[in-house]
């Protein structure tokens, strides 16, 4: 699939639940959430069918996200279904990490969730970590789970994922002091750390000018402790991060700047499937196409493929975040 601007679409991000066990200030700050009724959320079998159609159209990379994907009941069943889909060569997971160390039954053995996922073909895991300070972690996420997340990272290391990335959302006045510490922590453990600019994806008062910390400023804060960083435009993962190398070190750190990087959308190869069955061509646009309706009407795969093509045709040249964007759905409902 190719969009109107020549982007080859090969990456699908699938949100399997809108529920989460944390309450991050920039994502899902309210204690009392209106979760989607269960019958509005696609079953794992429905999701797998949509993904099979996507794979037939050239999608090779899949990232499972949420909400917190590991809170969904029987989540390993979903990964078993994914294993059966030909064409998906690169399977990743985005998680807050807190449930990775949990013990689960997998093929007659008790293993960690991380080990079971690795065994089921998950290649990479991205773990959200905005701070290494327990009190700050609790303030960011509404939960005192830092020790769970750190144990989750250990479980992921033990499970042998091909890459473990850390995602840190930047917030002025909240975690600037943590940036050098996070760089050091990532370096010591071999994690690829990325800093993410706050995006206006939630309808919350947290997304203000005062809270916004631009990447350039974050980089200066880091350079004060590491010395000058060298840009490495040759180093690419699958996303929009721009990587920099630390002086006298092999360590790279990534910067994801949806707001200040004017080239952010240029290499976008992504679509999103929300847990209630909307296909979205862009995180920063209100465009979406319903695929649950046709799916539940029993249409054939060719008709579902048309829904994909229509979504790809509607893919905008760039996101609307810089254009006084008013959040519609919360990030939690789209899948970050
Ligand atoms: N629960 C999982 C997790 O914690 O990674 C997956 C879902 S979460 C929505 C995916 C990513 O989106 C996380 O790295 C999170 O920090 C990021 N995110 C959520 N809201 C954001 C916002 N307003 N601006 C920037 N990143 C955000």
The structural domains of the chain, with segments of one domain joined by +, span: 11-334
Task: Kindly give the distance from the C-alpha atom of residue 66 to the centroid of ligand 1, in angstroms, as a whole number.
Answer: 9
Residue with tokens 């539940």: 296
Which pLDDT value is given to residue 241? 92
- Tens of pLDDT along 69-95? 999 999 999 999 999 999 999 999 999
Q: For 199, phi and psi rounded to 5 degrees? A: -115, 150
Of 18-32, 158-172, 308-322, where does the model show the most confidence?
158-172
More confident residue, 239 or 167: 167
* Homologous superfamily of domain range 11-334: Aldolase class I (3.20.20.70)
Nearest alpha carbon, ligand 1 atom 10:
336
**Residue 263 pLDDT class (50, 70, 90 cuts):** confident
| Angle 165-122-111 from CA coordinates, rounded to 5° | 100
Probe ligand 1: pick from 13, 15, 18, 27, max atoms within 8 Å of CB?
27
> Is 167 a pocket residue for ligand 1 (Cβ < 6 Å)?
yes
Window from 103-107, 233-237, 283-287, 298-302 with minimum mean pLDDT: 283-287
Taking residues 44-51, what's their average pLDDT? 98
- Per the CB < 8 A criterion, the answer to whether 199 and 226 are in contact is no
> Residue 73: exposed, middle, or buried by beta-carbon count in 10 A (0-12, 13-18, 19+)?
exposed
Window from 116-125, 206-215, 246-255, 287-296 with minimum mean pLDDT: 206-215
Q: CA 201 from chain center: how many Å?
A: 13
Q: What is the pTM of this model?
A: 0.95
> Is 149 a pocket residue for ligand 1 (Cβ < 6 Å)?
no
- Tens of pLDDT along 173-232? 999 999 999 999 999 999 999 999 998 876 556 778 899 999 999 999 999 999 999 999
> Is 289 a pocket residue for ligand 1 (Cβ < 6 Å)?
no
Taking residues 10-22, what's their average pLDDT? 96
Which pLDDT value is given to residue 141? 95
Which pLDDT value is given to residue 175? 96
Which pLDDT value is given to residue 109? 97
Task: Kindly give the distance from the C-alpha atom of residue 336 to the centroid of ligand 1, in angstroms, as a whole number.
Answer: 5
Per-chain mean pLDDT for the chain? 93
Which pLDDT value is given to residue 170? 97
pLDDT beyond 60 at 316:
yes
> Is 88 a pocket residue for ligand 1 (Cβ < 6 Å)?
no
Distance between CA 176 and CA 181 in Å, rounded? 10
Token reading at 184: 């050091």
Task: Kindly list the strands in the beta sheet with 230-231, ordered across the sheet, starting from the edge strand earlier in the chain.
Answer: 230-231, 242-245, 252-256, 192-196, 163-169, 124-128, 90-95, 61-65, 11-15, 270-273, 278-280, 289-290
Taking residues 315-322, what's their average pLDDT? 81
**Residue 334 pLDDT class (50, 70, 90 cuts):** low
Task: Kindly give the distance from the C-alpha atom of residue 298 to the centroid of ligand 1, in angstroms, as a whole number.
Answer: 33
> Is 175 a pocket residue for ligand 1 (Cβ < 6 Å)?
no
Which pLDDT value is given to residue 214? 95
Taking residues 33-58, what's their average pLDDT? 95
Nearest alpha carbon, ligand 1 atom 13:
128
Distance between CA 206 and CA 130 in Å, rounded? 15
pLDDT beyond 70 at 100:
yes
């Amino acid at each position: 699939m190719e969009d109107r601007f020549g982007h080859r679409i090969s990456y699908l991000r699938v949100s399997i639940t809108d529920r989460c066990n944390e309450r991050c200030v920039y994502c899902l700050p309210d204690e009392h959430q209106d979760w989607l009724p269960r019958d509005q959320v696609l079953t794992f079998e429905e999701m797998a069918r949509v993904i099979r159609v996507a794979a037939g159209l050239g999608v090779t990379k899949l990232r499972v996200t949420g909400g917190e994907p590991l809170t969904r009941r029987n989540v390993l069943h979903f990964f078993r279904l994914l294993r059966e889909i030909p064409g998906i060569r690169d399977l990743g997971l985005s998680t807050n990490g807190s449930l990775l160390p949990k013990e689960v039954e997998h093929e007659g053995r008790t293993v960690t969730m991380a080990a079971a996922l690795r065994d089921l073909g998950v290649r990479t895991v991205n773990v959200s970590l905005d701070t290494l300070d327990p009190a700050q972690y609790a303030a960011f996420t509404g939960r005192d789970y830092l020790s769970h997340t750190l144990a989750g990272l250990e479980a992921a290391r033990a499970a042998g994922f091909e890459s473990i990335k850390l995602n840190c959302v930047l917030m002025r006045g909240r975690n600037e002091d943590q940036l050098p510490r996070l760089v050091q922590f990532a370096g010591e453990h071999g994690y690829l750390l990325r800093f993410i600019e706050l995006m206006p994806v939630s309808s919350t008062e947290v997304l203000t000018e005062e809270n916004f910390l631009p990447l350039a400023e974050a980089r200066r804060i880091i350079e004060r402790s590491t010395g000058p960083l060298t840009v490495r435009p040759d180093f690419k993962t699958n996303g929009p991060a721009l990587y920099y190398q630390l002086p006298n070190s092999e360590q790279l750190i990534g910067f994801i700047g949806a707001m200040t990087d004017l080239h952010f959308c240029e290499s976008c190869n992504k679509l999103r499937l929300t847990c209630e069955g909307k296909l979205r061509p862009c995180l920063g646009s209100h465009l979406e196409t319903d695929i649950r309706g046709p799916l539940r009407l029993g249409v054939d795969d060719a008709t579902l493929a048309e829904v994909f093509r229509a979504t790809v045709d509607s893919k905008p040249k760039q996101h609307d975040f810089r254009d006084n964007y008013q959040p519609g759905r919360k990030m939690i409902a789209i899948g970050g």
